[in-house]
Structure 1
Amino acid sequence: MNYQVYLSKTAKQIQPSGIRKFFDLASSMKDVISLGVGEPDFITPWNIRETTIASLEEGYTSYTANAGLMELRQEISAYLERRFHASYAAEDEIIVTVGASQALDLAFRMLLNTGDEVLIVEPAFVSYASLVTMAGGTPIPISTNADNGFKVTVEQIEKGITDKTKAILLCSPNNPTGTYLNEEELTKIAQVVKKHDLIVVSDEIYAELTYDEVYSSITSIEGMYERTIVINGFSKGFAMTGWRLGFVAAPREFTQVMLKIHQFTTMCAPHMLQHGAIEALRNSADNVENMKNNYRRRRNYIVQSLNMIGLNCHTPGGAFYVFPSIKSTGLTSDEFAEQLLKQEKVAVVPGNAFGQCGEGYVRCSYATSMEQLQEAMKRMQRFVDTLV
């Protein structure tokens, strides 16, 4: 039987995740130090887990409203106002989703018609282009480089805009580079967005993990609320990856269309987990700050170590990734990652998994213990020494 004739052309053209390839390979080996998958090494704080356990014991196992518990949406609304000076109504401008990934999917399905173009600042998270494609759109990469710490410029954005461009996707702090766009830089981008009447899909999942500046959201810039879709969630900042809880905040004209899609595809996020998210927003600021301080120390250590090894690395402003250049080794990104894994049992992700401008780099996650990072740096030093 020829199954190929039954498969969707769109689905067939989607490429597997370059991150998972190396994660799966590393998981099959012993004594591997993984700097690959972007997941906090912290366990979800106990107060969040305890609240969720209690909600199960109290019988909160039914469906909720499609948009999520009103109590949670009210907490999200207060959180956005408190942390990012962004005002969204709990009643009809916030939807609780199954992770930030579903929020992105809803945003693109709501926005895009066949052929609409979305500018994606690269290097970029591996799912972005595929989500745009599956929604019928065309992803247009905007390449950045290490010369200015992988920060996109207005000139680069202008160059990518055509009469088919409908939106631009920004991720700050960025995965995989850790690059953070401050208020001044976002204001310049906002001017271009307004000039060309575009929509911004702003992935802010790493907003809690900024180390040198107070986080700025593009939605808080004058004139940007009406043309911004904020994507966020609990995975990274609150160490809740496996909970799969996210949210989208946008003008009601957008969210009410997204809600229709959400109703027919997901129904609602799990009831008991939403109680845990309420607790996270109310009483976990100290835990978040502790995790952030640990990440900051690790960031400083790994950046210094990689530069000493001879792998040039800029200091990222947020997230928990570094994106060092491996061009000095003479290897491609794939060759470097494969040989490092086989010879020294350290797993990193080839930079070209995040777009062609990522070739010549690798992504290293420092969401692991300092002891593991120290050992990983020793192994990477040994590996690089063999290439000289």
Structure 2
Amino acid sequence: MEKTYERTTGLKVLNVSSWHISESFRNVQLKHFCPPQIGNAFDYVYTYSIPVHIRQAILKKLGSVPEASTILISPNNTISIINVINLLKHHGINNVCIVNPSYFSVAHALASAGISYTYVSMNRFNGKYVFPIEAILQGNYDAVWVTSPIYSTGVYLDPNEIEKLRYLIRRKVFVVADESFALPGHELIRNIGISTHFISIYCPHKAISCNGYKFSGIVASDIYEDFLEQWVDVLSGNLPQSCYASIYHYLTPNYEECVNSFQMEIEEAKKAIFSFLRSSHHTTDANAIGSLISVYCDNIDFKQTTGDDFFQQLHKKTCTSFYPGWLNGFGQEYGTCFRVNLAQDSLLFRQSVQRLLSYLDTL
């Protein structure tokens, strides 16, 4: 629909939920980005090619205990998901609970592996997300798949909710945490620790919107090291040069410099658009951290955003668009909501958000 509007009017629609980042945001980040010159374009590199002390340094920086854990390096989060699901399958996992909101590929990857899954939604009361422990226990699942921060919201679980994950782990339920957007210091492994029933996925560069130069790491108990390293050859092969170099960049002080620059730019963007949220009809999560936040509208019927007419009018009236929350598993109980990617920040972005929210306020 966005492309159709652009073809017929010659006007480009800005989608505030898009993964893209603005040129101005990217240019600021590039001023701080100093990757190390390491490796070459010709040699094969695998996880097991990386020196042990480097892998242990990554684990330590993520908050894990290097002596009891292992890390499997892959090029991106999607490939890590495939490798984790393969591990679950070979350990007899047949029934998985995906906690919504969630990343779309998890369900498809589980289905392709022949593993049954069910969606259960996070509960949101008075602006706070509550982990649905009762529904999960009633479902008698073998494994639970969660995201941290909660997908598309930038909200992390508070200590009481993390304790519910620990409870599941003590009951020998596998807990898989997709933490690819977790910023440094917010990793669940710091609170939960190493367990044979806890697996987490990290992507430190993705968390700061650096998507072309990154690695993904699966952190798990060291009892799974041999299995993961054997199967990664089958499922994803060797690491590209950019992935290999990003491992070393993560361990340099320059990574922290990039994180600091990222957070400063995100805070500026947040301040700019929060002034447009001073409406009784719009709310967002005050405790959100990072580039992704969600906006919740209490004056728009959920069903409206499931039809074409709503978006055709939206494009016509605002030249702006968004991905409705239901695409990421936000159920009807959330009402109409959508993600905003603050890494798109620019004058055009701020103007688009203002037009969008002003229009939604009139519906």
Q: Would you say same fold, with TM above 0.5?
A: yes
TM-aligned CA deviation for residue 307 of structure 1: 4.5
Cα distance, 1:49–1:219 mapped onto 2, change above 3 Å: closer
Cα distance, 1:325–1:248 mapped onto 2, change above 3 Å: same
Cα distance, 1:328–1:156 mapped onto 2, change above 3 Å: same
Unaligned runs of 5+ in 1: 1-20
1:112 aligns with 2:82: no
Q: Distance in 1 between matches of 2:165 and 2:294?
A: 23
Partner of 1:341: 315
1:158 aligns with 2:137: yes
TM-aligned CA deviation for residue 88 of structure 1: 3.1
Deviations 1:205-241 (A, max 9, x none): 12217xxxx524146425x533211201144234331
TM-aligned CA deviation for residue 360 of structure 1: 2.4
Report if the CA contact (8 A) 1:60-1:272 is conserved: no
Quick one: which amino acid aligns to residue 256 of structure 1?
Answer: D
Q: Distance in 1 between matches of 2:134 and 2:251?
A: 38
Partner of 1:100: 77
1:236 aligns with 2:206: yes
Cα distance, 1:317–1:175 mapped onto 2, change above 3 Å: same
Partner of 2:355: 379
Deviations 1:289-337 (A, max 9, x none): 1211322343354345235272232324334222222341236233454
Report if the CA contact (8 A) 2:97-2:145 is conserved: yes
Partner of 1:14: none
Report if the CA contact (8 A) 2:208-2:291 is conserved: no
Partner of 2:50: 70
Tell me the C-alpha RMSD between the 2 structures. Answer: 3.1
Report if the CA contact (8 A) 1:126-1:354 is conserved: yes
TM-aligned CA deviation for residue 173 of structure 1: 0.8
1:37 aligns with 2:18: yes
Partner of 1:9: none
Quick one: which amino acid aligns to residue 70 of structure 1?
Answer: I
Q: Distance in 1 between matches of 2:274 and 2:98?
A: 26
Cα distance, 1:374–1:46 mapped onto 2, change above 3 Å: closer
Unaligned runs of 5+ in 2: none
Cα distance, 1:313–1:293 mapped onto 2, change above 3 Å: same
How do residues 4-23 of structure 1 correspond to structure 2 at under 5 angstroms? Answer: none
Q: Give the number of the structure whose residues are more often strand, by fraction.
A: 2
Partner of 1:5: none
Identity %: 17
Quick one: which amino acid aligns to residue 286 of structure 1?
Answer: E
Report if the CA contact (8 A) 1:115-1:136 is conserved: no
One of 77, 97, 114 as aligned partner of 1:136: 114
Report if the CA contact (8 A) 1:118-1:167 is conserved: yes
Q: Distance in 2 between matches of 1:33 and 1:251?
A: 43
Q: Distance in 1 between matches of 2:190 and 2:147?
A: 13
Partner of 1:199: 174
Q: Distance in 2 between matches of 1:117 and 1:348?
A: 33
Partner of 1:280: 250
Aligned length: 349
Cα distance, 1:121–1:386 mapped onto 2, change above 3 Å: same
Report if the CA contact (8 A) 1:123-1:177 is conserved: no
- The TM-score with structure 1 as length reference comes to 0.78
Moved over 4 A (4+): 24-29, 39-42, 44-50, 335-338
1:61 aligns with 2:42: yes
TM-aligned CA deviation for residue 370 of structure 1: 4.8
Report if the CA contact (8 A) 1:123-1:143 is conserved: yes
1:149 aligns with 2:120: no
Quick one: which amino acid aligns to residue 290 of structure 1?
Answer: S
